[in-house]
A and B are shown apart, each in its own frame.
Chain A
Amino acid sequence: MINILIKKELSLYFRNLNNIFLPLIFFFLIISIFPLVLGPEKTLFNKIIPGVIWITAILTTLLTSNNFFKEDFNAGIIETYLTSDVSIEIVLFIRIIVCWIFTCLPIVIFIPIVSILFDITFQSSIVILLTLVIGTPILISIGIFGSALTLGLAKNNILTPVIIIPFYIPVLIFSASAIQSVSAGLPYDMQIYILASLLTLVLPTMPYLLKYTLEISINN
């Protein structure tokens, strides 16, 4: 069962290579806008680049997760999920993980290149990478939750980000704090542990929450 589910997700992503490359291109485009807007002042830019990377990661996850269930909803697949006698929590869990692998993992992999481009110190870039690896699965899960929540509504393009961005704040606070700590030469492991505990809280509970949310959304 699980191998069919994984095979299906992978073939869907590989058949639309757009789904893999567009988030990455989007990420690079947004990052390269900042130097254009802020001018060539290097000290200012070095200070804000970790924040810029995080904001860009947020925008990417927002865009990719916004219409996560839309196509399945229009095709009636969500109804099949909910009238099924197998536990669809596994299905949803696999879909979250695969979505993360194809939208956020490329960004994480390209962080070293971004670090070289923008002259980020090795220490900082390690922490940025670490916070992104732990933080983006949380962001993706919350984004997918938002898309399930607004599924029944006809026009939901801007509503979903409005609902879910407040839920991003805890992740942002601890990621930013970890990055600030490392650049100030302070220990940052406390923030990483908190992020990791948020991840272990969000990831296993999200499929159950999603199922419940889909049931409500489809009832409207």
Chain B
Amino acid sequence: MDDALNKIEISVNSATCYKNNNLIFEDINIELKNGDFMLIIGPNGCGKTTLIKSLCGIQKLEFGNILINNLDIHSKNSEYIENIIYLGHKNSLNNDLSVQENLEYLSVFDSSVGSNNFDKIKNAMDYFNIYKYKDYMISDLSEGNRKRTSLARLVLSKKKIWLLDEPLSFLDNNILDSFVSLIKRHQANDGIVIVSTHYDFSKSISNVKYLKMETK
């Protein structure tokens, strides 16, 4: 890919969101460019998840807009959807499929993974130490291993913008380091990482921006 295609700027302008007439968040302004890492921090119920969902376009805003390279994410010719990968706090895993089958299936929804990706999936499972569980059904795994399976999609994907909602829940400290180094690698590859969390794990990460949200 040439440089012009790689360059990404996200700007969120006075975003305000209501759900059933309840104010979720208001007047959020964000500016992000390649290599940035943004931490959305706040107490329960302050709208972190809703903000992440707005950023990936599945939650509509009441006021304000979200632009990527100066195009609204809801406009027709926006390249937004080709650039984002969203990992919600729900793992998006099918209980009746094995770890490997789930990753195979989920990589269908990500055109950046490409086809013939058996080795890539093996690498991704190795990265999060779940290769030994590859034939286990998701329903037989612990919550932590489900989270690891979900995060393994990040190793597979070549998308530039990561939107992660509470990626640390259920993860142990051993895997946290590999997760942080994965984020650093992504930053070095001109990626953008947006994370909502309770726990600030950004000590060793550079280019960190904070967004502190408060309960309304």
Other-chain residue from A12, A79, A86, A91 in contact with B97 (beta carbon distance below 8 A): A12
List which A75-134 residues lie within 8 A (CB) of chain B: 75-77, 79-86, 88, 91
**Per-residue interface assignment for chain B, residues 96 to 123, with 1 indicating a CB less than 8 Å from any chain A CB and 0 otherwise:** 1100010011101111100100000000
A11 CB contacts on chain B under 8 angstroms: 96-97, 101
A16 at the binding interface (Cβ < 8 Å)? yes
Shortest CB distance B82–A (Å): 5
Residues B109 and A81 in contact, CB atoms below 8 Å apart? yes
Query: For residue A1, which residues in chain B have a CB less than 8 angstroms away from its CB?
Result: 108, 115
Question: At the interface, yes or no: A74 with Cβ under 8 Å from chain B?
Answer: yes
Check A79–B88 contact: CB distance below 8 A: yes
Chain A residues within 8 Å of B86, by CB? 79-80, 83
Chain B residues, Cβ within 8 Å of A88: 109
**Any B CB within 8 A of the CB of A219:** yes
Number of interface residues of A (CB under 8 A): 28
Minimal Cβ-Cβ distance residue in A for B60: A219
Q: Is the CB of B97 within 8 A of A83?
A: no
> CA separation between A15 and B88, bound complex, in Å?
27
Please measure, in the bound complex, the distance between the C-alpha atom of A219 and the C-alpha atom of B115, giving whole angstroms: 32
- A83 and B57 within 8 A (CB): yes
Closest to B102 in A: A8
Q: Which residues of A contact B92 (CB under 8 A)?
A: 75-77, 79-80
Contacts of B91 in A (CB 8 A): 75-76
Closest chain B CB from A81 CB (angstroms): 7
Q: Provided the pairs A1-B115, A88-B109 are in contact, do residues A215 and B58 lie with their beta carbons within 8 angstroms?
A: yes
Question: Which of these, A74, A83, A215, contacts B90 with CB under 8 Å?
Answer: A74
Give the contacts of B65-89 with A (CB-CB under 8 A).
Answer: 81-82, 84-86, 88-89
Give residues 8-53 of A contacting B (CB, 8 Å).
Answer: 8, 11-12, 15-16
CB nearest neighbor in B for A88: B109
Contact for B104 among A4, A75, A215, CB less than 8 A: A4
Task: Given A75-B93, A79-B86, decide whether A84 and B109 contact each other with a Cβ distance below 8 A.
Answer: yes
User: Which chain B residues in 39-82 approach chain A with CB under 8 Å?
Assistant: 53, 56-60, 81-82
Q: A15-B96, A75-B95 are in contact. Are A82 and B58 (CB under 8 A)?
A: yes
**A218 to B54 CA separation, bound complex (whole angstroms):** 12
Task: Tell whether, in the assembled complex, residue B101 and residue A79 are in contact, meaning their CB atoms are under 8 Å apart.
Answer: no
Q: How far is the CA of A88 from the CA of B58 in the complex (A)?
A: 15
For residues 201 through 220 of chain A, which have their beta carbon under 8 Å from a beta carbon of chain B? 215, 218-220
B101 adjacent to A8 (CB under 8 Å) = yes
The answer to the question of A194 belonging to the interface, with a C-beta cut-off of 8 Å to chain B, is no
Which residues of chain A have C-beta atoms less than 8 A from B11's C-beta?
none
Q: How far is the CA of A82 from the CA of B85 in the complex (A)?
A: 11
A85 engages B94 (CB within 8 Å):
no
With A4-B108, A8-B105 already in contact, the answer to whether A219 and B59 are too (CB < 8 A) is yes
Name the contact of A83 in the complex, choosing from B56, B89, B111 (C-beta under 8 A): B56
B97 touches A219 (CB 8 A): no
Q: What residue in chain A is nearest B86 (Cβ atoms)? A: A83
Does A5 sit within 8 A of B, measured CB to CB?
yes
Known A-B contacts A76-B92, A79-B88; the reply to A85 vs B82 at CB < 8 A is yes
Is B60's CB under 8 angstroms from A76's CB? no
A-B contact pairs, 15 of them (CB 8 A): A8-B101, A8-B104, A12-B94, A12-B96, A75-B90, A76-B90, A77-B94, A80-B92, A80-B109, A83-B57, A83-B86, A84-B109, A84-B110, A85-B110, A88-B109
Residues of B within 8 A of A (CB): 19-20, 53, 56-60, 81-82, 84-86, 88-97, 101, 104-106, 108-112, 115
5 closest pairs, A vs B, by CB? A76-B90, A84-B109, A76-B92, A83-B86, A80-B92
Q: A75-B95, A77-B94, A215-B58 are in contact. List 8 more A-B contacts (CB 8 A).
A: A15-B96, A72-B94, A75-B92, A76-B90, A83-B85, A84-B81, A91-B108, A220-B19
